[in-house]
């Protein structure tokens, strides 16, 4: 599969528009969680509009016109990247959804589409950091500062290690979950994300 980061270097002219009578199927995934959000169809003009506006745009077969997702609801899909399959006749679009994608107010048009839960948790913690709701434990952690959060990570790390050697599997899993949560909070408190840590792992794996 040819990856076209944010569409740079993607030449719409080289795609096989003839095979689908001028339309290519475009699968949209959440760039953070990789959950499949929807399937639409793009004409060459829709793809060019997507690349130019950075808002995912389709060709509506029912309306017979270009249609930017969220043009009436405001729930746009902000473009991250476009990939083209090996036959140049299908598109994979990564985007940041701004609101529910489905017209039924669900995150995805596929109600049981799997996603990466840790990425969802990371996004939730990021919102907590920005919004600071008063009744949130995460808010209290952020307001306590990096040193206190780091202390919690250390405590949870020790408790996880102890559970591994002296307790049962449910205890180990519970402590592991606590450690992961507090680590994500610590990363966010330093202006980083779980994805940044995953990127380092991926780079090491590629060596």
**What is the pLDDT, as a whole number, of residue 66?**
97
Q: How many CB atoms lie within 10 A of CB 35?
A: 20
Integer Cα distance of 42 and 60 in angstroms: 8
**Structure tokens given for 142:** 């952020």
Residues of the chain with CATH 3.10.20.810: 2-97
Answer yes or no: are the C-beta atoms of 68 and 96 closer than 8 Å: no
> 24-30 and 2-4 as β-strands: parallel, antiparallel, unpaired?
unpaired
**Which pLDDT belongs to residue 10?**
86
Please name the fold of domain 117-206.
Answer: Helix Hairpins (1.10.287)
Pinpoint the residues of the chain covered by CATH 1.10.287.1080: 117-206
Q: CATH classification of 2-97, choosing from 3.10.20.810, 3.30.450.40, 1.10.3720.10, 2.30.140.10?
A: 3.10.20.810
Taking the C-alpha atoms of residue 168 and residue 20, their distance in angstroms, rounded to an integer, is 56
pLDDT in tens, the chain (207 residues): 344 455 557 889 999 999 999 999 999 999 989 999 999 999 999 999 999 999 999 999 999 999 999 999 999 999 999 999 999 999 999 999 999 999 999 999 999 999 999 999 999 999 999 999 999 999 999 999 999 999 999 999 999 999 999 999 999 999 999 999 999 999 999 999 999 999 999 999 988
């Amino acid at each position: 599969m040819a990856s076209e980061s944010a569409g740079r270097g993607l030449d719409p002219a080289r795609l096989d528009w003839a095979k689908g009578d001028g339309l290519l199927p475009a699968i949209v995934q959440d760039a953070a969680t990789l959950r499949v959000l929807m399937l639409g169809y793009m004409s060459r003009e829709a793809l060019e509009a997507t690349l130019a506006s950075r808002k995912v745009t389709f060709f509506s077969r029912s309306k017979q016109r270009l249609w930017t997702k969220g043009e009436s609801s405001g729930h746009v899909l902000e473009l991250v990247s476009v990939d083209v399959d090996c036959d140049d006749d299908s598109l994979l679009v990564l985007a940041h959804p701004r609101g529910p994608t489905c017209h039924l107010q669900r995150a995805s048009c596929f109600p049981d589409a799997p996603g990466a839960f840790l990425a969802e948790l990371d996004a939730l913690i990021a919102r907590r950091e920005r919004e600071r709701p008063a009744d949130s434990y995460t808010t209290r952690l952020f307001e306590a500062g990096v040193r206190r959060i780091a202390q919690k990570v250390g405590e949870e790390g020790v408790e996880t290690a102890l559970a591994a050697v002296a307790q049962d599997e449910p205890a180990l899993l519970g402590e592991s979950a606590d450690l992961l949560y507090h680590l994500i909070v610590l990363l966010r408190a330093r202006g980083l994300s779980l994805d940044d840590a995953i990127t380092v792992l991926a780079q090491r794996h590629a060596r």
